Amino acid sequence: MLTSIRLQNFRSYLDDSFELSESVNIIVGKNASGKTNLLESILINAGENSYRGKDIELINHNSDWAKIDCNNEDNTVRTVKLQTVNSNIVRTYEIDGNQYKRLNLAKTIPVVVFEPNNLNILTTSPDSRRNFLDELLEKIKPGFKEKRRQFKRVLYQRNALLKTGIRNAQNNLFVWNLRLSELGDYIFNNRMELIDTINQFAEEIYNELSITKSTVSFEYVTKLNKNNYASDLIKSLERNINTDIERGFTSSGPHRDDFDLILNNHMASETASRGEMRTLMLVCKILETRVIEKSRSIKPILLLDDVFSELDGGRRQALTNFLKEYQTFITTTDADVVLHHFSDQANIIAISKTN
């Protein structure tokens, strides 16, 4: 639980401090006043990357460094410093007096971000849905982040080889096929395990938010055999080698898989109304929160970037009931949209500066 935060040369903040509530914090200000910058600083301090840009964009343009200090309820201080070194940005952490360049999973603070683009995850590209699963797995599964990085590296190497021509590719692809199938199987099995976990809660959460009695489930979508994924993947890679060479990319593997949300026995992407899709997206984020809490035995911090304005009254109230259990930060240009849902329980943080 965070009790205060100090920002130095971080985006629009030169040297500003804020007292934080252990429950709901409502960050109020005009557009471009720095509300989202404050949310972003909490995310960076937790050990994650920004959903808005690269580290170089986080440093105020008049400086070559930025610093975030967070005080916690146990009186410890957690510091992140961003420093420009030879045109590169170096990020360092100081936790309990020890310095780190990278954090393992145990030293990160679990954070769940709700932002307007999340509301499109179910209707946009499969890549966004794969990222939803994989980024959640990175937050709960030690070692998954590194395995995912290795898979991307091997996939890049295989695709580069495919572009060199038929003879060269055919003579050198076997080792990449083998490694890709091993890593692909690891990613697939962890995704399936996650799907099984979230299906334990999905229907209950949806009915609670929508005040209905509906059936809801996540269904993993792949062209490969789920019972023997690694073997089927390597067969597919070898069977489709000529097609892959012609196209210049790898056509089989977890990077081509997807998931569907099934609502009342129909694919939600085809039959759900706009309101139902908004509810399903909130279900995804609440599931993310529940899975993290269950896996790591700690309540994550929730960051809501202008999400309330995207929801109607009923969904706002349903989300409000859920948020009260967590330390939450909500940005808004209109405090009245949010405040009356929390009465006197919320801490108001007024932002007046402009970028």
Give the pLDDT confidence score for residue 104 in this predicted structure.
93
Q: What pLDDT is recorded for position 168?
A: 67
Distance CA(6)–CA(69), nearest Å, equals 5
Given this model, what pLDDT does residue 249 score?
94
Question: Which residues touch 197 (CB under 8 Å, ≥6 apart)?
Answer: 291, 294
Which residues is 92 bridged to in the sheet? 81
Q: What is the DSSP string of 77-141?
A: EEEEEEEEETTEEEEEEEETTEEESS--GGGSPPEEEE-GGGGGTTTS-HHHHHHHHHHHHHHHS
Write down the mean pLDDT value for the chain: 91
Q: Which residue has the tokens 């023997």?
A: 228
Q: Which pLDDT value is given to residue 83?
A: 96
Res 260 pLDDT > 60: yes
Say if residues 54 and 40 touch (Cβ distance below 8 Å): no
Band (pLDDT 50/70/90 cuts) for residue 278 is confident
Considering the entire predicted model, what is its pTM? 0.91
Distance, CA of 220 to CA of 261 (rounded, Å): 9
β-sheet bridge partners, residue 263: 216, 266
Cα–Cα dist 342/24, whole Å: 8
Domains of the chain: 1-109+301-355 (3.40.50.300), 117-299 (1.20.1050.90)
The mean pLDDT of 20-39, rounded to a whole number, is: 93
- Higher-confidence residue of 276 and 6: namely 6
Q: Give CA–CA dist 85/14, Å, rounded.
A: 20
State mean pLDDT over 127-143.
95
42-64 pLDDT, tens digit each: 999 999 999 888 999 999 999 99
Pairing of strands 328-332, 24-28: parallel
Provide, rounded to the nearest whole percent, the portion of the chain with pLDDT above 70.
97
Residue 332 has a CB neighbour count (10 Å cut-off) of 20
- pLDDT given at position 308: 81
Buried b (16+ CB within 10 A) or exposed e, 156-186: eebeebbeeeeeebeeebeebbebbbbbbbb
pLDDT at 210: 85
Indicate if the pLDDT at residue 345 is higher than 80. Answer: no
What gap in Å lies between CA 92 and CA 83, rounded to an integer?
Answer: 8
DSSP string for residues in 26-52: EEE--TTSSHHHHHHHHHHHHT---SS
Q: Side chain identity at 224, as an amino acid letter?
A: L
Confidence band, pLDDT 50/70/90 cuts, at residue 343? low
Q: For residue 231, what is the DSSP state?
A: H
Measured from the Cβ of residue 59, the count of other Cβ atoms closer than 10 Å reads 19
Closest CA to 224 of 252, 265, 263: 252
Q: Which residues is 77 bridged to in the sheet?
A: 71
- Per-residue model confidence (pLDDT) at position 165: 73
What was the pLDDT predicted at 353?
Answer: 66
What tens digit of pLDDT does each residue of 237-257 get?
A: 999 988 998 899 999 999 999
Please report which confidence band the pLDDT of residue 344 belongs to, taking 50, 70 and 90 as the band edges: low
Predicted local confidence at residue 354, as pLDDT: 54
pLDDT tens profile 71-92: 998 888 999 999 999 889 999 9
CA 23: distance to chain centroid? 22
